Amino acid sequence: MNQKYLQKFESEIFKSIDGFEVCTDSKFYQSLQTHFPGTLTMQDYMKKIYNSLRCYGFEDENTMGMAAFCRDEITDPLLDEVIKYWGKTFNCCSLAGFVMMGKTGLAAATDHVPIFDGVRRFTFFAMPHIAISKEGEMGKVYREGIQKPSHACGSLEAIVRELECGRLNLKTDMEDIEQSIIRQKIISTLRYGEKPNLIEITKLACQIISDDVKKLLSPLDSSVFNYAVMTGIQIHGPMDTNWIYPQDFYVVGANLAEVDTLNT
């Protein structure tokens, strides 16, 4: 995480959004700043992404969106934001926001990217998610029509519980293929005996997703494709508010080289 970037936008979190007053002494805010310093409101994050990418020639008229978020319906507001700014968007979503599309999925997605001035441009957003309740409780979210708290991310929380009890099934279950892959990817990065909590495993998932996206897109011909990658963690707060904890933000293209926009 680029600290200069985080400090630059830190003050923007002090505001009222979507009917929920962000108080610096609230339990939610304290948890947010303790575990995810530099988090931005989803709306501010998307505006800054859009304005930054315009400098590199990415416009809604010439760019297609791609989005890899969790299948959970509470991630829909972020998908809606991608569509709002980039129009038609290729849905790459899977459990926990892991990138499962593979070479065949990428081939289909890139074949849909429009061509303007001989260049195909797309934005690729990929993020796991986590909830923080009004009381600052990690992983808890209240859903419409359900009185008791639910969980986010349920997929990652299941792996946390498995690690805590010491019982892991590492076999590939074809009837639960996505969870099998997620479990294997996470376990392969842990040292023997490590038992990350939900915050730690969500940040680990974010790093795995960032690495997977870079590996997936690296074979693309940069003389044909200009693309931007945005990774991080989507955070669900009280009153259906949404926040983004930024991770990677870079653009790639033959005439752009590779630029880490967090440092510009």
- Chain centre distance of CA 216: 16
The predicted pLDDT at position 48 comes to 96
Q: Which CATH number characterizes residue 244's domain?
A: 3.40.1050.10
The answer to whether 227 and 121 are in contact (CB under 8 A) is yes
Does residue 89 form part of some domain?
yes
The predicted pLDDT at position 151 comes to 87
The predicted pLDDT at position 4 comes to 47
Tally of domains in the chain: 1
Does residue 261 form part of some domain?
no
Does residue 94 form part of some domain?
yes
Q: Please give the structure tokens belonging to residue 190.
A: 């842990």
Does residue 67 form part of some domain?
yes
Does residue 142 form part of some domain?
yes
- Chain centre distance of CA 72: 13
Does residue 258 form part of some domain?
no
Domain that holds residue 47: 3-11+23-253
The answer to whether 251 and 259 are in contact (CB under 8 A) is yes
CB contact set of 179 (below 8 Å; sequence gap of 6+): 95, 155, 158, 173
Does residue 132 form part of some domain?
yes
Walk along the chain (264 residues) and give the pLDDT tens digit of each residue. 444 444 444 444 444 444 445 555 589 999 999 999 999 999 999 999 999 999 999 999 999 999 999 999 999 999 999 999 999 999 999 999 999 999 999 999 999 999 999 999 999 999 999 999 989 999 988 887 877 888 889 999 999 999 998 888 888 889 999 999 999 999 999 998 899 999 999 999 999 999 999 999 999 999 999 999 999 999 999 888 999 999 999 999 977 745 555 544
Cα–Cα distance, 186 to 79 (Å, whole number) = 25
The predicted pLDDT at position 22 comes to 58
The predicted pLDDT at position 21 comes to 55
The predicted pLDDT at position 97 comes to 96
In the three-class reduction of DSSP (H, G, I as helix; E, B as strand; rest coil), residue 3 is classed as: helix
The predicted pLDDT at position 234 comes to 97
Does residue 33 form part of some domain?
yes
The predicted pLDDT at position 258 comes to 52
